[in-house]
Homo-oligomer: A and B are copies of this chain.
Amino acid sequence: MQTKKGQSIEDASMQMIEDEIGLHPYSEKEWPIVRRIIHSTADFDFADKNKIIFHKDAIESGMKALKNGCSIVVDVNGVIGGLNKQNPKDFGNDIVCNISKPEIMELAKKEGKTRSQVSMRAAKSDIDGGIVAIGNAPTALQEVIQMVKEGIVKPALIIGIPVGFICAAESKEELSKLEEVPFITNLGRKGGSSSASAIINAIFKLIRAESAS
């Protein structure tokens, strides 16, 4: 849902990224995703120092699940803010974010955990078979990895791109070693909710391009 002017600005931006990026290691389906992250951050480090890492089944599995109306579970409201809302509307995806619920706060305090960590376990039934996108909290990503290892969830795709100084890089490294569940993640401290939304928006674009062709 964009005006002609909005679309022309986006097209010109994407062209600038193409002109400046030079050679890159990404496949035909990976590159539009990485390019959209660079577009939303103006940060070419996401193709280099903080580069994006794709599990071999990530894009196919994510496209299939989203197209079939799977849930999208996010750690923070910022990820929702950056989503193109027309997509989940058209494909019937529920967006789940439990972090602000009072019972999550209570439980987190009781268990000595972070709110986002507890909010992941509370979304168990939506994460299983769904897409989970973490843009902010390494503790949330660690919790999802733990749930996968416990065998209680099998998400169609984990988008794990939290930003931060404490355990962000480490949690993403741990994710990149998962073999049983498709993931998209990146190297280092950088990331964020805008990058998480950019990845989801880009996958929906791939779905629309595929059905248009």
Which A residues form the contact surface with B (CB < 8 A)?
A: 1-6, 9, 12-13, 16-17, 39-43, 76-82, 85, 100, 105, 108-109, 112-115, 117, 139, 163-168, 188-194, 197
Q: How many copies does the complex hold?
A: 2
Measured between beta carbons, the chain B residues less than 8 angstroms from A17 are: 165
Contact A42 B189 (CB under 8 A): yes
Contact A9 B42 (CB under 8 A): no
Could you name 7 residue pairs across A and B whose Cβ atoms are closer than 8 Å? A3-B114, A3-B115, A4-B109, A16-B165, A42-B191, A78-B78, A85-B100
Identify the 8 closest CB pairs spanning chains A and B, nearest first.
A81-B81, A78-B81, A42-B189, A77-B81, A13-B165, A16-B165, A6-B114, A78-B82
Measured between beta carbons, the chain B residues less than 8 angstroms from A76 are: 81-82
Least distance between A164 CB and chain B CB atoms (Å):
6
